[in-house]
């Protein structure tokens, strides 16, 4: 009897735990589709972030009983049964006269979220510590955003917040085996660019390099996620995030476990699928894989036409992703070195050196003088040059000649009045021209400094800081992205309106202000 009760209690606990990870579409089948395909909310993310006011089963029971009645009002039903996210009650108003530094210091408080305020049926995944969100429609913690936010938090001496956020990511790795795109149930099928090992480098500057050994279990688990199934692949095969190249090397791609429309962009995905020649599942997976990259969307994932319906993210070996995984391998090697485990140190160092060799082999384009993405299906470089090509400089993978070529390309092609443009293509996608993003400015500037290209690095920093300050002085805001070709125009493109806040913009700006002492330009 005792064993029976124990088994029953375990079933209850497991069922409850599983229910906590259900997505809005799983909780509210049919209702979800009705809302997301309607025009109730202009942004599909609104409904998936809404908080049910009561048990989802009861909401669905009422919906099924009422939906076919002639006087049924879908919008009113949703309003009655959900707390709709929107503008904060106490809207923050910036004071330009107090200057950019005080503005950023205040924003850390505005973007701060308590960990213990998660509603039972919310799509928000609870975390053990408080954290910083990007801002605007992004109401949760985001993986790669957080690294660049931490750069600014460190400048603001917010060491405890950095530690809390790293512990949150370690918790997510221990719980799910990887760090999701964000702490939402609808993000649990994919990760984002793996910056966790880079975050530990930030922490190590103040806590010492032993933190790398401390988080070794999580580093290994994240590595296992990205490398899942790699050892069983034959040349020309892929499984999840791993690809074995034609000559036997293992490199990585972006991937999502789901082949359904993204819940947070459901209608846009459904509409876009109607234009593609791909199988629906393949198209949705390519869309989702691009979302995992953080570059959603860019012509770097598309064919020569640059049209969204040709997206082929899962065919592409991204240079930036593999540079990050190179750093992860080096970090794991370092963790073993700190423990005195020479065999494991050498094993992971060898993995890193093999990846470095493969990056140079497949990503360097002598023709373009640039590091390119590689299409492993077609066995050639992809057609679009992008700012992802600076990552081999940040991680010291490029040789001196290659770094000089990249620097020349940055100066003559990418550098505009407002900073570095993301690509040369004007597609209407937000990760294309004329838009620029803080994380890519930082990686370029930092990478150039690694190769003693300090003059160009400073020029880029000056242009970027000037753009940020001019927009702040005219609007009182720091934006998610900027138009750097015509700095008098707001950045656009993409699936949603321009967002302000903004975590990684604040972090990179404060880091560069302190590095170059350029408060006034």
For residues 263 and 278, give the distance between their C-alpha atoms in angstroms, rounded to a whole number.
20
Length of the chain: 521
- Structure-block tokens of residue 2: 């005792």
Q: Check if 462 is active-site.
A: no
DSSP state of 398: S
For residues 481 and 422, give the distance between their C-alpha atoms in angstroms, rounded to a whole number.
11
For residues 230 and 488, give the distance between their C-alpha atoms in angstroms, rounded to a whole number.
48
For residues 197 and 387, give the distance between their C-alpha atoms in angstroms, rounded to a whole number.
21
Among 145, 256, 432, 480, which one carries the catalytic annotation? 480
Q: Check if 296 is active-site.
A: yes
For residues 467 and 427, give the distance between their C-alpha atoms in angstroms, rounded to a whole number.
22
The alpha carbon dihedral of 257, 189, 81, 13 has a sign of positive
Q: Which residue has the tokens 């799983």?
A: 26
- Structure-block tokens of residue 106: 């205040």
- Structure-block tokens of residue 390: 């600076």
What backbone phi and psi angles, to 5 degrees, belong to 83? -90, 115
213's CB contacts (< 8 A; 6+ apart) are 335, 338, 339
207's CB contacts (< 8 A; 6+ apart) are none
Among 49, 264, 273, 296, which one carries the catalytic annotation? 296
Residues annotated as part of the active site: 296, 480
């Amino acid at each position: 009897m005792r064993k029976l009760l124990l088994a029953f209690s375990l079933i209850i606990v497991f069922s409850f735990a599983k229910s906590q990870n259900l997505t809005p579409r799983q909780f509210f089948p049919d209702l979800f589709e009705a809302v997301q395909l309607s025009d109730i909310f202009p942004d599909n993310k609104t409904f998936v972030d809404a908080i049910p006011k009561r048990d989802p089963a009861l909401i669905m029971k009422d919906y099924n009983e009422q939906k076919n009645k002639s006087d049924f009002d879908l919008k009113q039903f949703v309003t009655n049964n959900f707390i709709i996210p929107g503008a904060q009650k106490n809207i923050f108003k910036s004071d330009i006269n107090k200057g950019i530094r005080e503005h950023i210091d205040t924003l850390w408080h505005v973007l701060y979220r308590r960990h213990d305020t998660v509603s039972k049926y919310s799509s928000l995944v609870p975390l053990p510590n408080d954290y910083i969100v990007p801002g605007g429609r992004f109401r949760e913690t985001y993986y790669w955003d957080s690294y660049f936010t931490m750069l600014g938090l460190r400048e603001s001496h917010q060491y405890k917040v950095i530690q809390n956020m790293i512990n949150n990511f370690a918790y997510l790795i221990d719980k799910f085996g990887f760090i999701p795109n964000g702490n939402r149930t609808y993000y649990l099928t994919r990760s984002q660019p793996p910056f966790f090992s880079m975050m530990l480098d930030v922490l190590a500057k103040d806590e010492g390099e032993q933190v790398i050994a401390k988080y070794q279990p999580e580093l290994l688990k994240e590595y296992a996620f990205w490398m899942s199934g790699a050892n069983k692949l034959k040349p020309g095969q892929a499984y999840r995030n791993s690809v074995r190249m034609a000559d036997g090397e293992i490199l990585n791609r972006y991937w999502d476990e789901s082949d359904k429309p993204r819940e947070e962009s459901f209608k846009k995905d459904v509409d876009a699928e109607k234009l593609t020649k791909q199988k629906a599942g393949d198209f949705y997976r390519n869309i989702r894989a691009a979302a995992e990259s953080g570059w959603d969307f860019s012509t770097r994932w598309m064919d020569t036409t640059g049209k969204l319906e040709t997206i082929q993210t899962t065919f592409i070996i991204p240079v930036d992703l593999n540079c990050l995984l190179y750093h992860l391998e080096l970090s794991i090697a370092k963790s073993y070195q700190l423990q005195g485990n020479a065999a494991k140190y050498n094993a992971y160092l060898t993995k890193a050196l093999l990846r470095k060799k493969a990056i140079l082999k497949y990503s360097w384009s002598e023709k373009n003088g640039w590091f390119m993405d590689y299409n492993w299906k077609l066995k050639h470089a992809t057609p679009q040059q992008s700012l992802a090509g600076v990552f081999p400089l940040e991680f010291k993978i490029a040789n001196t000649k290659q770094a000089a070529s990249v620097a020349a390309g940055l100066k003559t092609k990418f550098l505009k009045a407002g900073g570095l443009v993301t690509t040369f293509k004007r597609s209407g996608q937000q990760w294309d021209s004329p838009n620029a993003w803080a994380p890519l400015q930082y990686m370029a500037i930092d990478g150039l400094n690694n190769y003693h290209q300090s003059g160009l690095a400073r020029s880029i920093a000056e242009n970027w800081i000037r753009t940020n300050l001019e927009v702040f002085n005219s609007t009182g805001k720091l934006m998610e992205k900027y138009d750097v070709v015509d700095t008098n125009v707001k950045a656009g493109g993409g699936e949603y309106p321009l967002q302000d806040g903004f975590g990684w913009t604040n972090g990179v700006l404060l880091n560069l202000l302190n590095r170059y002492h350029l408060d006034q330009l």
